[in-house]
Amino acid sequence: MTDSHAIQPSALDQLPDRDPEETAEWQASLDAVTKAAGPHRAAYLMRRTLERAEGNGIALPKLLETDYVNTIPTAAEPGVPGDEAIERRITAWNRWNAAAMVTRGSKYGVGGHIATFASAAWLYETGFNHFFKGKEADGSGDQLYIQGHASPGIYARAFLDGRLNESQLDNFRRESGGNGLPSYPHPRRLPWLWEFPTVSMGLGPLSAIYQARFNRYLTSRGIKDVSDSHVWAFLGDGEMDEPESTAALALASREGLDNLTFVINCNLQRLDGPVRANFKIVQELEAQFRGAGWNVVKSLWGSAWDELFRLDTTGALVRRLREVPDAQVQTYQTRDAAYIRQDFFGKDPALVEMAKLLSDDKIVECFHLSRGGHESRKVYAAYKAAVEFKGAPTVILAQTVKGFTLGEGFASKNANHQMKKLSVDEFKQMRDLLELPIRDSDFVDGVVPYGHPGADSAEVRYLQERRATLGGPAPARRTHALAPLPAAADKTFAAFDKGSGSQNVATTMAFVRLIKDLVRDKQTGRRWVPIVPDEARTFGMESLFPSLGIYSPKGQTYEPVDRDQLMYYKEAKDGQILNEGITEAGSMADFIAASTAYSTHGEAMIPFYIFYSMFGWQRTADQMWQLGDQLGRGFLVGATAGRTTLTGEGLQHADGHSPVIAATNPAALTYDPAFAYEVAAIVKDGLRRMYGEAAPGEDQNVFYYLTVYNEPMPQPAKPAVAGVDEGIVKGLYRFNTAESAGLSPVANAPRVQLLGSGTAIHWALQAQRLLTEEWGVAADVWSATSWSELRRDALEADAALLRGEERLPYVRQALQGAEGPVLAVSDYMRQVPDQIAQWVEQDYSSLGADGFGISDTREAARRHFGVDAESVVVAALAQLARRGEVKATAVKEARERYGL
């Protein structure tokens, strides 16, 4: 049977052996050691030899797994500066108050998690006391991605240092009164404390990598030197199952992000049971991270194990630790010494002899309590090694016990993630274990008290002094008083008002041309962050390559194959474009880091992320919510949008639904512009609102989603009538009437209002002509730039009405007095235009591209979905026939004439 951990053959094995005799001598030496000292000693020597080779820079396959022991031996651990006794008392208070907060809230049925922080308390406390830099120095500090389920412990610490009070703790998970605390890290709900929303598991580690990368980007481009900032991501071992958790490990290694540390709390449990019941998650993660090029530090065993390792002269203990599956380790944490003697030590004669030297208390201490993640000295050594390591990111694998110090009813139980409270007796046991000065009489009517040593106590003074030394409170989010960015020259946007004449231009191309002009702006151009997932040429952005450069920490170490061409592929250390390769998730993580730089670093950046619209919201909508949660600002651009515009690509590329998904996000302003001048007007207003002088009552913490198309069409001039710019921004304006279009309908002709968005407006304009010339119907055409903004405004008007305020929705104002029925059409499913149906006073109906996409020509696809000009005509006639304004036979005649 093949050993799965054996070193695989490499290219070197194919070379001729220039000294077979020397090779034979090495092999004979290995054979001799194996015979004399056994295979385990031989394996030990081979591992040490491989480690020495790696340390000397000799190119060999990496050793992906090491023994199941601490990376840093006890003898090599540095001393912990400061007062460890006080730090133990601080940690004890935090443990107590975290558990009390959740237990007290349990009577309201709002839930909460106790066991996660109980396992990770020292992982956080060591960082807060010695490593995590605050923001009061340069405004950036370190970026902390806190594990979502550990939030009670962070609140408990903020209570201890005076940033929260008892009333706020008592309103954990009860926010509606205005004095509550959100369940998990959430910048929109507690913006002075939380920077990063992390409870959607997998997004924290992905975002942390791209945040560390964006920090390097800001420094390399000369925007701000944030080289002192370190990114810390606190994760659970179960969380690493999420594909996003490990999606960008190679990027972090490839770019040498030694400003990044992952701390994975390996308590061996996920939400319902063991993470790797029959395997070892620590070893699996070590191999995965080492294989990706990370520095790995394991902190598995506490100091109680030192005696056991000293007694292990044969390696039997290390071998046994490596072979015991995680679920059995979890079982040992709940069983007595007799069971452990039999099941763990009884498997090997050498271990049987070792166990004879150990007392029952010693065995219980080791297997129940002593873990590397529960001792400040072990954690400090791991953190110090991480921040001092250069050239690669570091992952710390810290082994802990889930529910540690909460008593036998919690520790290592499969159900502890769902357990929301402790009994009074369990709290008293916890108090005694933690040696806290809380009296029995403090439990009034069975309610567990909060504990605090006093604002002037040694613990609080120590905590605050340590934070002052490290640069202020943490975690913390800062709202910087940034001056509005100067507006780009009006001529940049006005250039699109005159239209394209006889030239056909797609709105994707119009957007890219606008960006080309904006990035040249002398005052704000350098703040644009173009992000694209490998399809820049598809979107016509290759002209930006030589002028802006593609960001690479190595610059360009090769001569590009297209160097002799005008638009050659240029990489640079100070490049402005983030060309991410085929990763929508990575691109969104880029966008989130850039869009929140105004808060994280006090630097306003303007990201735009352009992507196939089908693969944006559909694939990474969870990150769009993360973006909204984190109060990000910028422009998302769904290019080659629509269900029928991307000829021949079929259902997998046909987007008929991204505006539906986007409309569910309260922070997203979704626009479907039809013309180039609309694109310019929307971007101009977006820059004003997010980065300039926002109007009173406007929320700056929004982001824009624009859908643009790859269908070249004539771009008309902006109509020279009042209210067009307002209508573009608010979502609807009349583009023309039958009369202004030069169609000359007969007097008193039946009239219909055609509302179209995006590329659909062109079908509406064709239908307008057909209705007049062939059916004697006058049609006015409206451009609906944003169905969702019309709906948002209408919902706000409804809410105002409930408050006794009279306000007419804008869509009703705009259509007031418009004759005839309203027919809306878009290149998306009917849900998109139907968002406004209940606020339209006229008879309302819609057409859309519902169902799966198909591969065919644009014309055939539009006929298939019933949204082409002829289908619009038939639908309009049907509306008028129901009103008695045209003969019913006209509908049948039109269907037959157009072959519908």
Q: Who's near 696: CB < 8 A, 6+ residues apart? A: none
Question: Which candidate, 172, 174, 170, places its Cα nearest to that of 447?
Answer: 170
Please check the confidence at residue 65 and state whether its pLDDT lies above 60.
yes
Please check the confidence at residue 12 and state whether its pLDDT lies above 60.
no
Q: Give the number of C-alpha atoms closer than 13 A to the C-alpha of residue 769, restricted to the C-beta side.
A: 8
pLDDT tens track for 142-163: 999 999 999 999 999 999 999 9
Give the model's pLDDT for residue 1.
31
pLDDT tens track for 233-281: 999 999 999 999 999 999 999 999 999 999 999 999 887 789 999 999 9
Give the span between the Cα atoms of 367 and 358, in whole angstroms. 12
Which whole number is the average pLDDT over 39-63?
A: 80
**Considering the entire predicted model, what is its pTM?**
0.93
Banded pLDDT at 648 (limits 50, 70, 90): confident
Write phi, then psi, for 668 (nearest 5 degrees).
Answer: -90, 125
Strand segments (E) across 464-539: 504-505, 528-532
Strand segments (E) across 575-714: 578-579, 606-612, 634-639, 668-671, 703-707, 713-714
pLDDT tens track for 160-169: 999 999 999 9
Tokens coding 100: 């009390």
Distance of CA 861 to the CA centre of its chain: 35
Tokens coding 22: 């020397």
Which whole number is the average pLDDT over 12-35?
A: 82
pLDDT tens track for 704-735: 999 999 999 999 999 999 999 999 999 999 99
Cα torsion through 7, 12, 16, 20, rounded to 10: -50
Banded pLDDT at 18 (limits 50, 70, 90): confident
Please check the confidence at residue 5 and state whether its pLDDT lies above 70.
no
Give the model's pLDDT for residue 11.
40
pLDDT above 70 covers what percent of the chain? 96
Which whole number is the average pLDDT over 568-589?
A: 93
Give the model's pLDDT for residue 6.
39
Banded pLDDT at 15 (limits 50, 70, 90): low
DSSP annotation string for 58-86: ----------SS-SS-GGGPPPPPS-HHH
Question: Which candidate, 68, 149, 522, places its Cα nearest to that of 321?
Answer: 68
pLDDT above 90 covers what percent of the chain? 81
For 222, counting Cβ atoms within 10 Å of its Cβ (0-12 exposed, 13-18 middle, 19+ buried), the class is exposed
Asked if 231 contacts 215 with a C-beta cutoff of 8 angstroms, the reply is: yes
Which whole number is the average pLDDT over 108-124?
A: 91
3-class DSSP string for 740-759: CCCCCCCCCCCEEEEEECCC
Which whole number is the average pLDDT over 102-124?
A: 91
Angle at 322 between CA 317 and CA 324, to 5 degrees: 95
Residue 690 has a CB neighbour count (10 Å cut-off) of 25
Give the model's pLDDT for residue 420.
56
Tokens coding 428: 């008293």
Asked if 462 contacts 128 with a C-beta cutoff of 8 angstroms, the reply is: no
582: left (phi over 0), alpha (psi -120 to 50) or beta: beta
Please check the confidence at residue 3 and state whether its pLDDT lies above 50.
no
**What is the rounded end-to-end Cα distance, in angstroms, of the chain?**
67
Give the model's pLDDT for residue 409.
62
Which whole number is the average pLDDT over 669-675?
A: 98
Please check the confidence at residue 615 and state whether its pLDDT lies above 90.
no
Please check the confidence at residue 4 and state whether its pLDDT lies above 80.
no
Which whole number is the average pLDDT over 113-135?
A: 95
Give the span between the Cα atoms of 10 and 61, in whole angstroms. 8
Banded pLDDT at 40 (limits 50, 70, 90): confident
Please check the confidence at residue 412 and state whether its pLDDT lies above 50.
no
Residue 857 has a CB neighbour count (10 Å cut-off) of 11
Burial track 122-143 (b if 16+ CB lie within 10 A, e otherwise): bbbbbbbbbbbbbbeeebbbbb
Please, what is the average pLDDT of the chain?
Answer: 92
Tokens coding 198: 């992390």
Please check the confidence at residue 204 and state whether its pLDDT lies above 70.
yes
Which whole number is the average pLDDT over 347-366?
A: 96
Which whole number is the average pLDDT over 649-664?
A: 89
Strands 260-266 and 606-612: unpaired
Measured CA distances, 788 to 384, 609, 618, 631, 638 (Å): 50, 21, 18, 20, 16
Give the span between the Cα atoms of 525 and 520, in whole angstroms. 5
Please check the confidence at residue 703 and state whether its pLDDT lies above 70.
yes
Banded pLDDT at 314 (limits 50, 70, 90): confident
Cα torsion through 222, 623, 393, 309, rounded to 10: 160
Burial track 822-855 (b if 16+ CB lie within 10 A, e otherwise): bbbbbbbbbbbbbbbeebbebebbbbbbeeebbe
Which whole number is the average pLDDT over 568-578?
A: 94
Q: Give the number of C-alpha atoms closer than 13 A to the C-alpha of residue 648, restricted to the C-beta side.
A: 0
